């Protein structure tokens, strides 16, 4: 079954054609990311206008890369939420128009639940329009430090979806049966990375900028001056997260280290001690966030006698997070998609639609910006 999927929940406009939920035929992503740089964050109005502009060319390109016409497609999948209303509407109305005019079935998709299905994608070529995953021996979602045996992912699995807007833990008893176990009570882990990056003067480059800065940290190069909290780790049986206190602590410690410097202003890196301070700070932020994510996920796996762990969402691209999880690989096989399938794209939207989606009449599909990620419907 060939599904054409459309994703436009945030600032990306993505279209993919995927066969039987696992094989990428084409994947195209257009982003207005750079445009948001000067505003210090995503401006919903700007994002939606750009998506209107990008949607048809992206659709055309995805079909052309797949060497297909619309008539070759069996169903249309589309993200209906959660996300920005203006952005969602662009994708939803496009998908409805295609469905209504072509008579193809339409499958509405929950973006957050869909993230985890990136772990079930099989492909042996470089993903079109994406970068190769430097930490993986092949360009496929794979078991950390292990052979590429994701087809044998064992259930029950614990699935951590960790992105810019969400930090959620699910029990996955089968490809269809999902139960929400816990999530963030306030900010998402990706938001903590993104706000820190802005505070440190890295603009909108987010978690990747923190990861790159942290990789330059050498334990011996500077005496560690800050120690950040690991929120909620004392509550052993509680599978929720909280990152807003950490964000405040990060803000306080950064300002203490940089008295008089405006938050977010680029720093002069000519002094060795400033560069050392920046990498030390980024390192501690990354350690704190990843410690919490790993410990809570492992606890969830223990409590539910999980047979595997699946990571997904933009933050699961983080190399330090992957490294920490790989230490548990003998206890629980840990799976993670290649970097290009961690961040937003339409491939996993199609995969979710194939494995768990429902075909509905096109005129019943609407954008739902606050679509629940806890009350899991058959969506």
Contact footprint for Zn ion (CB under 5 A)? 163, 344
Q: Which DSSP category does 230 fall into?
A: -
Dihedral sign, CA of 15, 364, 98, 74? positive
Q: Which is nearer to ligand KG4, 102 or 180 (CB)?
A: 180
Stretch that binds ligand KG4, among 87-95, 170-178, 239-247, 311-319 (CB under 6 A): 311-319
253: tokens are 């410690």
Q: What are phi and psi of 286, to 5 degrees?
A: -65, -40
Task: Give the HSE-up count for residue 162: Cα atoms under 13 Å, Cβ half-sphere.
Answer: 31
Give the one residue of 82, 182, 190, 337 binding ligand KG4; rule: CB under 6 A: 190
Nearest residue (CB) to Zn ion, 226 versus 367: 367
Phi, psi angles (nearest 5°) of residue 300? -60, -40
**Binding segment (CB under 6 A) for ligand KG4, from list 242-250, 263-271, 308-316, 326-334:** 308-316
| Min dist. Cβ of residue 209 to Zn ion (A) | 18
| Helix then strand then coil, % of the chain, to nearest 5 | 40, 20, 40
Under the binding rule (CB under 6 A), the answer on residue 357 touching ligand KG4 is: no
Nearest residue to 196 (alpha-carbon basis) of 208, 186, 182: 208
Contact string (CB under 6 A) for ligand KG4, positions 11-30, x = contact: --------------------
Could you tell me if 128 and 61 are in contact, meaning their C-beta atoms sit under 8 angstroms apart?
no
Q: With CB cut-offs between 5 and 8 Å by kind, which of Zn ion, ligand KG4, none does residue 317 bind?
A: ligand KG4
**Residue 28 contacts by C-beta under 8 Å, 6 or more apart in sequence?**
14, 15, 16, 58, 61, 62, 65, 128, 129
Q: Which two tokens stand for residue 5?
A: 């999927």
Residue 211 interacting with ligand KG4 (CB under 6 A) = yes
Which tokens is 134 given?
């430097």
183, 206, 333, 357: residue in contact with ligand KG4 (rule CB under 6 A): 206
91 part of the interface to ligand KG4, by CB under 6 A: no
110 binds ligand KG4 (CB under 6 A): no
Residue 81 in the binding site for ligand KG4 (CB under 6 A): no
For ligand KG4, which is the closer residue by CB, 278 or 318? 318
Using the rule CB under 6 A, which residue among 311, 315, 340, 373 binds ligand KG4? 315
Q: Quote the distance between the C-alpha of residue 294 and its chain's center.
A: 16
Run of H or E residues at 76: strand 75-81
Nearer to Zn ion, 105 or 206 (CB): 206
| Of residues 98 and 317, the one with the C-beta less far from ligand KG4 | 317
Q: Which does 193 bind (CB under 5 to 8 A by kind): Zn ion, ligand KG4, none?
A: ligand KG4
135-174 binders of ligand KG4 (CB under 6 A): 163-165
Residue 298, burial from CB neighbour count under 10 angstroms (0-12, 13-18, 19+):
buried
- Binding at 182: pick from Zn ion, ligand KG4, none (beta carbon under 5-8 Å per type): none
Separation between Cα atoms, residue 202 and residue 74, nearest integer Å: 43
Positions touching ligand KG4 (CB under 6 A) are 10, 163-165, 190, 193-194, 206-208, 211, 313-315, 317-318, 343-344
């Amino acid at each position: 079954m060939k599904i054409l999927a459309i994703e436009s929940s945030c600032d990306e406009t993505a279209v993919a054609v995927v066969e039987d939920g696992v094989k990428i035929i084409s994947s195209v992503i257009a982003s207005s990311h750079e445009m948001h740089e000067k505003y210090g964050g995503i401006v919903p109005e700007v994002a939606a206008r750009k998506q209107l502009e990008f949607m048809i060319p992206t659709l055309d390109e995805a079909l052309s890369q797949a060497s297909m016409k619309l008539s070759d497609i069996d169903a249309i999948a589309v993200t209906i939420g959660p996300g920005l209303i203006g952005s969602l509407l662009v994708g939803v109305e496009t998908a409805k128009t295609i469905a209504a005019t072509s008579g193809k079935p339409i499958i509405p998709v929950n973006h957050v639940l869909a993230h985890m299905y990136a772990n079930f994608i099989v492909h042996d070529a470089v993903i079109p329009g994406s970068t190769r995953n430097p930490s993986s021996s092949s360009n496929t979602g794979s078991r950390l430090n292990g052979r590429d045996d994701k087809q044998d992912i064992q259930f029950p699995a614990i699935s951590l979806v960790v992105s810019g807007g969400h930090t959620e833990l699910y029990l996955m008893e089968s490809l269809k049966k999902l139960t929400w176990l816990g999530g963030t009570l306030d900010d998402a882990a990706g938001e903590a990375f993104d706000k820190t990056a802005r505070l440190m003067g890295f603009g909108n480059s987010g978690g990747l900028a923190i990861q790159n800065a942290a990789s330059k940290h050498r334990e011996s190069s500077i005496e560690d001056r800050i120690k950040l909290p690991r929120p909620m780790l004392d509550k052993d049986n509680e599978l929720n997260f909280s990152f807003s206190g950490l964000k405040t602590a990060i803000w306080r410690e950064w300002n203490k280290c940089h008295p008089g410097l405006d938050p977010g202003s680029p720093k002069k890196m000519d002094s060795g001690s400033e560069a050392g301070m920046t990498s030390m700070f980024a390192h501690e932020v990354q350690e704190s966030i990843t410690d919490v994510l790993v410990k809570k996920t492992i606890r969830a796996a223990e409590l539910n006698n999980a047979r595997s762990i699946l990571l997904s969402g933009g933050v699961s691209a983080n190399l330090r997070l992957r490294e920490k999880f790989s230490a548990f690989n003998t206890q629980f096989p840990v799976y993670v998609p290649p970097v290009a399938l961690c961040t937003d794209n339409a491939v996993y939207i199609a995969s979710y639609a194939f494995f768990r989606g429902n075909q509905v009449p096109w005129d019943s599909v609407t954008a739902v910006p606050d679509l629940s990620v806890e009350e899991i419907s058959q969506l």
